[in-house]
Amino acid sequence: MNEKAPPSSSWPLKIFPLFSMLGWILVSLALVLGVFFLAPNAAQYFGENAKAARDAAENGSFLLRQLQILSATPRWLEPLAFTGIASFMIGIALEFSTIPRLLVQRGNVMARTFPLIVQAERS
Amino acid sequence: MQIMIGKMARMFPMLILIGLAIVITSLAIGIFNAQTAAAYFSESKAVRETSLLAQRAALESTGIWLPTFKFLGLGLILGGIVMALRLIIDRLRQAGEEVLVNLPPEHRPDLPQPPWFGLLMPMVMFIGELILIWSFAVGLRTAAVARDVFANPLPVIDSAGAGSPLLTGLQQIHATESWLVPLKFLGIGTEFLAIIMGLATIIFILTRQTAVIDQAIEIGRTLNQTEEVPALAEAAG
């Protein structure tokens, strides 16, 4: 067998699934928060209250708390989804980083075939 | 099924070109929309809210559907990359088969079976595309609602009472926008997941093929001492 250790045991190949999973979790979490937290608040705030009622909301009222949620949440929800995408990209980069080592190993194995072919040509 | 996907994968440049065309079209629409916004905001507040209704409707509706269209373009480009990876996987397998065909069948080691993530990869890519197409359709529908709502003067919209069609429309726009943004990211994330699966398959094939070739060399060496190996005989002329 080839004397070099297979690159399948290298650290980037061990941790890339973690980054992929983290990416999936973050992107899904952003969607879940959008569907089950932000959307019901938006529907209630805009659908059940006329503008006059929304504008007249007093400090500490439920309407103002909803407005706070609707203004603050999208400011971190989109960056959260972007972090998920970045995590996927790190996973891809880690996978790419192992391919050169695999090709070197393939080259080493292929180099061993040449003496065999030369031997056959001589005979 | 896998053969059909393999044939479809050859059309990957078309997917990339369509995606690129969509992204460039989005840029053109964005520039046009920016000019509309510049013209709209050059007028006084009173004129904007009572007279420039068509411009306001165009700005509001384009702001909803254009991002989903851009993401669809990006998704198609990523889908093209996934298909290109599939093509590489197919070619690697073919190359492996061509190498091993040189050994007599009774001594030929088995080619490794494609892993589950390699078989699932095109399906995941397709799901990602479906999510992006769906978000584009939802974006178009919400944009139509926005066009209807903002075709009314702002004072009329502001005075709409609870349960009125205008407020229901406003509710629909804001509620949909809350989940439409993360949905687009989920579509793009699914495409990235397919790319990760494709790369993992290439790494799997390269690792296993190297091991099989190594094994084949040993078999060839043994056979060279006892009988004739087809490839070596051919090389010797």
Q: How far apart are the first and last CA of chain B?
A: 41
pLDDT for A58: 87
Structure-model confidence comparison of residues B205 and B103, the more confident one: B205
* Dihedral Cα B132, B135, B139, B142, nearest 10 deg: 170
Which of B:148-207 have CB within 8 Å of A? 157-162, 167-168, 170-171, 173-183, 185-186, 188-189, 192-193, 195-196, 199-200, 202-203, 206-207
Q: A3: burial class by Cβ within 10 Å (0-12, 13-18, 19+)?
A: exposed
**Cα–Cα distance measured from residue B80 to residue A67, given in angstroms and rounded to the nearest whole number:** 42
What's the pLDDT score for residue B173? 94
Contact call for residues B100 and B109 (beta carbons, < 8 A): yes
Q: What are phi and psi of A49, to 5 degrees?
A: -135, 125
CA distance B137 to chain A (A): 17
* Alpha-helical regions (H) of B110-164: 116-149, 154-158
Task: Say what percent of chain A tops pLDDT 70.
Answer: 86
What residues of A are in contact with residue B181 (Cβ under 8 Å)? 34, 74, 77-78, 81
Interface A-B: count of C-beta contacts within 8 A: 166
Strands (E), B147-217: none
Measure CB to CB from residue A39 to each of B179, B209, B220 and give the nearest one: B179
Q: Which of A113-122, B147-156, B178-187 holds the top average pLDDT?
A: B178-187
What pLDDT score was predicted for residue B225? 65
Q: Is B112 helix (H, G, I), strand (E, B) or coil?
A: coil
Q: Which two tokens stand for residue A105?
A: 């190993």
- Residue contact B189–A42, C-beta within 8 A: no
Contact flag B162-A50 (C-beta cutoff 8 Å) = yes
What distance in Å separates residue A47's CA from the closest CA in chain B?
Answer: 5
* Among B91, B139, B129, residue whose Cα is nearest residue B15: B129
Q: Which two tokens stand for residue B226?
A: 């006892």
Q: Which two tokens stand for residue B160?
A: 């709409």
Whether the CB-CB separation of B96 and B185 falls below 8 Å is answered with no
The pLDDT assigned to B179 comes to 94
pLDDT at B8 over 90: no
Distance of alpha carbon A31 from alpha carbon A27, whole angstroms: 6
Please report the pLDDT score of residue A32 as a whole number.
96
Question: pLDDT digits over B56-69, tens only?
Answer: 999 999 999 999 99
Q: In this predicted structure, what is the pLDDT of residue B37?
A: 92
Q: Looking at the partner chain, which of B158, B171, B233 has a beta carbon nearest the beta carbon of A43?
A: B171
Tokens 């990602």 correspond to: B128
Are B116 and B44 contacting, i.e. CB atoms less than 8 angstroms apart? no
Q: Give Cα separations from B36 to A95, B23, B55, B65, B157 (angstroms).
A: 45, 20, 7, 16, 21
Confidence at residue A113, expressed as pLDDT on a 0 to 100 scale: 72
- Put simply, the answer to whether A81 touches B185 (Cβ < 8 Å) is yes
CB contact under 8 A, A121 and B213: no
Where residue B235 falls among pLDDT bands split at 50, 70, 90?
very low
Predicted pLDDT of residue A8: 55
| Arithmetic mean of pLDDT, A40-48 | 91
Per residue in B206-230, pLDDT tens? 888 888 887 877 777 777 665 555 5
The pLDDT score that the predictor gives to residue B57 is 92
- pLDDT digits over B115-167, tens only? 899 889 999 999 999 999 999 999 999 999 999 999 988 888 888 887 888 99
